[in-house]
Amino acid sequence: MILIHTSDLHLVPSNLQGTILENAYYEVLEEISEVVLNEQSRYLLISGDFFDDDRVHYDILIRVSKQLKKLRDNGVRLVVSPGNHDLARNRDGVLDLLSSLGLMYLTMFEEAKGWLILDPLVFEDDEIVFYGVPGFRGSSNKEVEYLKQGTTLFKDSSMYKDYYVVVLAHIQTRFHGYDPSKYSWRYGSLYLEYEDFLRRMPANTRYIALGHLHLPIPYDESFRSKAAYPGAPIGIDLNDFHDTCELVSKGVHRGVLRVDLASDPPLLKTIRLEHAPKAYCTTIQTDSLEDARTQVKKIVKDMELGEYIILVVDVESKRLTASDIARLNYELNKEFRDKRVYVRLSLHGVIEEPEYPLIRVDIEAVSNFSIDELELKVIQEYVSKKRPGLSAEKIQWVINYLGRDLGQLSEKHIRDLLREMGGGD
């Protein structure tokens, strides 16, 4: 039996929506669909973070749904385990919606009395069963804790001794030379040693479809292994783009995994994704915005254009500011859109602040606060740093107002909001 395994598609990162790269995400999904059909596989596995959030824009949902319908209509079963980006704890996210529409099979779980209980997803006709270890939101690596403590239950696994057992796991493990400690700032500090990880799986597990890491591990084009990371087809940020440059320097390309379950351990083959953007990384030195623009234009002019290209430029400068670079990024991406080139300049040695920085609140100081009081404290902390002059109390009122079951937003609701925020009648 042949499976196609991918993960971390992240459809579509908010910072890349509206750029030329957004189209690349859809084309990669279409290419993956073609790979599945060409390989005559009945199963496409996505080990977490199919989407970049559990809520997505309508346009993204429509474009993705068209591809999923094509797979379903061709008899392909899309098996998805939620990742830390697209997991909806109240079971009403985009994955749950697509599952209810019959466009995917979502692995299910529950947390009860300190246990993580994984439900089997069984296909009797192929004698195969899937379990999914989800990635939990935040940086707690809660899924690792459950496995480490031995409090993960693969429900009814003893019933499927004569079946292929496949586990999708959005998790970090030390594996094939990968050292999690070097990437703790990206994926969290908790991980499992590979041998310990294997011991936590059902005894007759044939393959573990790993996700969460955006690097393919191992790098080999063909190999036998009980587990593997396919890596992200594109990635989500500057770190991933740098990784792609490094992979290319080693002769490694972004792709998906073809998994042949006929042997134990399975035979895996990497299938290169031709529509995954090529990445080029370079450094320029300049103190002039116009000179930086000229240098980048020359680099693009000398490139072999065609497929999507990500140009990562490290700018060494004593005078240019982050706002200068941001403006130049915007202008160059607008100019090169028709060439399918996405430009990402960054100042050398500058660690960029996240779009949504963490709000740090002294837990001991607020330990006796109510939920409303704690919420207000967090809002006040953010407002004091980012939007001085705004009323934290009014912001909290709006949040609570919009959180009510209002049905369709009426003119009365809008007038109430405007009045509370000082917008008059």
Return the minimum-mean-pLDDT range out of 25-34, 221-230, 234-243, 301-310. Answer: 301-310
When pLDDT is cut at 50, 70 and 90, the band that residue 357 belongs to is very low
**Dihedral over Cα of 337, 341, 347, 353: its sign:** positive
For residue 34, the model assigns a pLDDT of 98
Q: In this model, does residue 62 exceed pLDDT 70?
A: yes
The 3-class SS string of 383-402 reads HHHHCCCCCHHHHHHHHHHH
pLDDT at 360: 46
CB neighbour list of residue 211: distance below 8 Å, 6 or more residues apart: 7, 8, 46, 47, 48, 49, 81, 83, 135, 168, 169, 170, 171, 229, 230
Q: Is the pLDDT of residue 383 over 80?
A: no
Burial of 29 (0-12, 13-18, 19+ CB in 10 A): buried
Mean pLDDT over 366-390 rounds to 59
pLDDT at 387: 55
- 378 has a pLDDT exceeding 80: no
User: 258, 288 in Cβ contact below 8 A?
Assistant: no
Task: Output the pLDDT for position 359.
Answer: 46
Residues in CB range of 108: below 8 A, 6 or more apart: 118, 119, 121, 132
Beta bridge partners of 414: none
Q: Output the pLDDT for position 363.
A: 44
By the 8 A CB rule, do 79 and 130 touch?
yes
Q: What pLDDT was estimated at residue 171?
A: 93
Is residue 182 very low, low, confident or very high in pLDDT (cuts 50, 70, 90)? confident
Q: Measure the CA–CA gap between 306 and 312, rounded to whole angstroms.
A: 17
Is the confidence at residue 353, as pLDDT, over 80? no
Tell me what the mean pLDDT of segment 229-238 comes to: 96
Q: What is the mean pLDDT of residues 48-71?
A: 94
Q: What is the pLDDT of residue 53?
A: 93
Q: Identify the band that residue 354 occupies on the pLDDT scale cut at 50, 70 and 90.
A: very low
pLDDT tens column, 4-52: 999 999 999 999 999 999 999 999 999 999 999 999 999 999 999 999 9
pTM value? 0.82
Name the band, by pLDDT with cuts 50, 70 and 90, for residue 394.
low
Contact 340, 309 (CB under 8 A): yes
Q: Exposed, middle or buried: residue 37 (CB in 10 Å: 0-12, 13-18, 19+)?
A: middle
Domains within the chain, CATH numbers bracketed = 2-272 (3.60.21.10), 278-347 (3.30.750), 364-420 (no CATH)
Comparing 316 with 349, the larger pLDDT belongs to: 316
When mean pLDDT is compared over 105-114, 354-363, 390-399, the highest value belongs to: 105-114
Confidence of residue 186 (pLDDT cuts 50, 70, 90): confident
Provide the pLDDT confidence category of residue 181 given band limits of 50, 70 and 90. confident
Look at 167 and 416; give whichever has higher pLDDT: 167
> 141 vs 18, which has greater pLDDT?
18
| pLDDT band, very low/low/confident/very high, at 139 (cuts 50, 70, 90) | low
Q: Which of 7-21, 256-270, 379-393 has the lowest mean pLDDT?
A: 379-393
Residue 141: its pLDDT value, please?
82
Q: In the structure, what pLDDT confidence band is assigned to residue 289 with cuts at 50, 70 and 90? A: very high
Average of per-residue pLDDT across 151-158: 96
Check residues 128 and 193 and name the one with the higher pLDDT. 128
**Across residues 317-323, what is the average pLDDT?**
93
Helix (H) or strand (E) holding 63: helix 58-73
Question: What's residue 369's pLDDT?
Answer: 56
pLDDT tier, 191 (very low <50, low <70, confident <90, very high otherwise): confident
Q: Out of 27-31, 149-153, 226-230, 405-409, which region has the weakest mean confidence (pLDDT)? A: 405-409
The answer to whether residue 361 scores a pLDDT higher than 50 is no
Q: What is the pLDDT of residue 408?
A: 47
Asked if 212 and 171 count as a contact pair (C-beta separation under 8 A), the reply is yes
Which residue did the predictor score with more confidence, 365 or 193? 193
Q: Tell me what the mean pLDDT of segment 126-136 comes to.
A: 96
* Mean pLDDT (the chain, rounded): 87
What percentage of the chain reaches a pLDDT higher than 90? Answer: 72
